[in-house]
Amino acid sequence: MSNEAEQKRWEQESLNPLLKRSPERKAAFDTSSGIPLPRLLTPGDPDPDYLEKLGFPGEYPFTRGVQPSMYRGRFWTMRQYAGYATAEESNRRYRYLLEQGQTGLSVAFDLPTQIGYDADDPIAIGEVGKVGVSISALQDMETLFQDIPLDKVSTSMTINAPASILLAMYISVARKQGVETRRLRGTIQNDILKEYIARGTYIFPPRPSMRLITDVFRYCQAEVPHWNTISISGYHIREAGSTAAQEVAFTLANGIAYVQAALDAGLDVDSFAEQLSFFFNAHNNFLEEVAKYRAARRMWARIMKERFGAHSPKSWMLRFHTQTAGSTLTAQQPENNVVRVALQALAAVFGGTQSLHTNSMDEALWLPTEKAVRVALRTQQIIAHESGVADTIDPLAGSYLVEYLTDEVERLAGEYIRKIDEMGGALAAIQAGYIQNEIQQAAYAFQQAVERGDEIVVGVNAFQAGEKMELERLRVDPAIEQAQRQRLVELRQRRDAQRTSELLTHLSVAAPGSENLVPLFIECVENDITLGEICRVLRDRWGEYEPPAWV
């Protein structure tokens, strides 16, 4: 089949309405999801009963928010994503951000850490500390949180395939600080399905990967009850090019798969559901983004109550972190990114987010400088303290257009979820390439619209300035990699070689079985066994995931 014929087939079969319209129609008044925007809406246009459907904040189906008081009770957590170079340098950045008023930590790991390799592995050459902090062993994690009391902060860690191992390190650091695990608060992303779809930092095949996730559910339910065991991520799906409705659909479809996996592992839905969390993008189409969050909350509440039979209202709540859209940042006229980020952050607040990261204006160019990070944090603080939008609960509720868009996002996302269910669920749809292709087609359609000039990106395809950029570049010293390698040499020389061998043998025997691996991971890291050594044993026992050749 020719490329042109294949493209036409996808356009015919896709549920994305933008692909079914002529170029002229695509340029008209549509949202990113292809929802047509009426010129004017009047009472009764969205749904004659929409006021009855709204309900109240903090009540099922939580369209208007998961807390009755929302930000009148307390602001969202201001959680700036940071991490680079060594644990020492990242620790300095965290303490700086806390001094500037940040209210939660968010850890970025480098690529070797994300895919389970130590800093001295040959595959890590040239990547140590480049896009996040390098963490190979417990000593690195101790340094990362030095002088930061873990019972006083909430920490989010963007880590997926080896999430259970990094959680084991965090728990071990807390123990060394004398902090009880039951007092720890935070989140591990731990969302492997979106790695297969959109991000690519996977290690193991789906079956053992899902086993690790349900092991974390079971362990944290008993030992770390205030920890979010997963952050089911639509953010990276949107960054890969999806529409708003696709972001909701594919994220919730993944959520359904995780809940079902936990049930299949013998867990009771109400024992783990309130520790599930979500992670969404804040993109440019302001009103559609507000509606997206409202629709996602309402859909998840119904899924948990009606599909899975959860009884606790806490199990029905979709609680989410938001990050402004990295894919919308431009290298051209980077100061414009401050405006983009402010609008995106405002949409997240209007949408009722529980936690928020605002991107820095220079991230399209390099790792953000300290000044740019401060401006990004100040953006949240100005919204919280100066704008007045947090003074009332759900200020856009009842807007004819917002309620119409909420219904339309829910309708489009629901159609996708039904189709994915017919295919056998999210994992089957991923293995068939369906979700990946839907995202690729949406990304392609958007890029075509930009190149035609139907979509305006200020400073890129319109309103260019041609000015030179003079931002201070943040560099990662190449010597960092050698220093990390030397620390690992010294660690392996001083640890108990016999105990190391015993624990790795135990892990190799336990991996194919049904033993919960999280306590074993904790024991391993507390005996100075490294991330890469643990993952090497698991690779030997489970193999590595290889995506289909056509993905």
Q: How do residues 137-174 score in pLDDT, each as one tens digit?
A: 999 999 999 999 999 999 999 999 999 999 999 999 99
Q: DSSP strand E in 37-159: where? A: 77-82, 104-108, 154-158
Read off the pLDDT of residues 210-243 as tens digits, 9 standing for 90 and up.
Answer: 999 999 999 999 999 999 999 999 999 999 999 9
Residue 463 Rama label (left phi>0; alpha psi -120 to 50; beta): left
Distance, CA of 459 to chain centre: 28
Task: Choose among 446, 86, 168: nearest CA to 284.
Answer: 446
* Position 48 pLDDT exceeds 90: no
Most confident of 34-38, 53-57, 351-355, 478-482: 351-355
Give the mean pLDDT of 464-480: 75
- pLDDT value at residue 470: 65
- pLDDT value at residue 15: 87
Read off the pLDDT of residues 262-273 as tens digits, 9 standing for 90 and up.
Answer: 999 999 999 999
Q: Which are the contacts of 384, defined by CB distance < 8 A and separation ≥ 6? A: 71, 75, 76, 78, 349, 390
- pLDDT value at residue 41: 77
Cis omega (within 30 of 0) for bond into 162: no
- Tally of CB atoms within 10 A around 397: 22
Q: State both tokens at 366.
A: 């390099």
- pLDDT value at residue 498: 98
- pLDDT value at residue 472: 60
DSSP 305: I
Read off the pLDDT of residues 522-543 as tens digits, 9 standing for 90 and up.
Answer: 999 999 999 999 999 999 999 9
Most confident of 46-50, 238-242, 547-551: 238-242
* Position 467 pLDDT exceeds 90: no
Confidence of residue 29 (pLDDT cuts 50, 70, 90): confident
* Position 26 pLDDT exceeds 60: no
Distance separating alpha carbons of residues 104 and 264, to the nearest angstrom: 34
Distance, CA of 458 to chain centre: 27
* Position 187 pLDDT exceeds 90: yes
Q: What is the DSSP string of 273-290?
A: GGGEEEEEEE-S-HHHHH
405: helix, strand or coil: helix
* Position 492 pLDDT exceeds 60: yes
Q: Which amino acid is at 548?
A: P
Task: Choose among 313, 378, 234: nearest CA to 67.
Answer: 313
- pLDDT value at residue 295: 97
Q: Are 234 and 439 in contact (CB under 8 A)?
A: no
* Position 373 pLDDT exceeds 70: yes
DSSP 296: H
- pLDDT value at residue 7: 60
Q: What share of the chain is helix, strand, coil (3-state, %, to 5)?
A: 55, 10, 40
Which residue, chain included where needed, has tokens 């500037």?
A: 100
Residues 206, 210, 213, 215: is their CA dihedral positive or negative? negative
* Position 23 pLDDT exceeds 80: no
Distance separating alpha carbons of residues 451 and 550, to the nearest angstrom: 26
Which residue, chain included where needed, has tokens 């024992």?
A: 271
Give the mean pLDDT of 465-492: 83
- pLDDT value at residue 40: 82
- For 65, 206, 246, 458, the CA distances from 341, given in Å and listed in that order, are 22, 35, 22, 14
* Position 518 pLDDT exceeds 60: yes
Read off the pLDDT of residues 288-299 as tens digits, 9 standing for 90 and up.
Answer: 999 999 999 999
* Position 25 pLDDT exceeds 90: no
Between 448 and 21, residue with greater pLDDT: 448
- pLDDT value at residue 471: 56
DSSP 181: G
Q: How far apart are the first and last CA of the chain?
A: 17
* Position 328 pLDDT exceeds 70: yes
* Position 6 pLDDT exceeds 80: no
Confidence of residue 315 (pLDDT cuts 50, 70, 90): very high
Q: DSSP strand E in 52-206: where? A: 77-82, 104-108, 154-158, 185-188
DSSP 198: I
Q: State both tokens at 23.
A: 């170029």
Give the mean pLDDT of 273-277: 98
Read off the pLDDT of residues 387-424 as tens digits, 9 standing for 90 and up.
Answer: 999 999 999 998 989 999 999 999 999 999 999 999 99
Between 24 and 323, residue with greater pLDDT: 323
Confidence of residue 19 (pLDDT cuts 50, 70, 90): confident
Confidence of residue 59 (pLDDT cuts 50, 70, 90): very high
**What domains, with CATH codes, occur in the chain?**
50-452 (3.20.20.240)
| Mean per-residue pLDDT over the chain, rounded | 93
Long-range pairs for 502-506 at CB < 8 Å and ≥24 separation? 503/527, 503/529, 504/529, 504/533, 504/534, 504/537
Distance separating alpha carbons of residues 447 and 453, to the nearest angstrom: 10
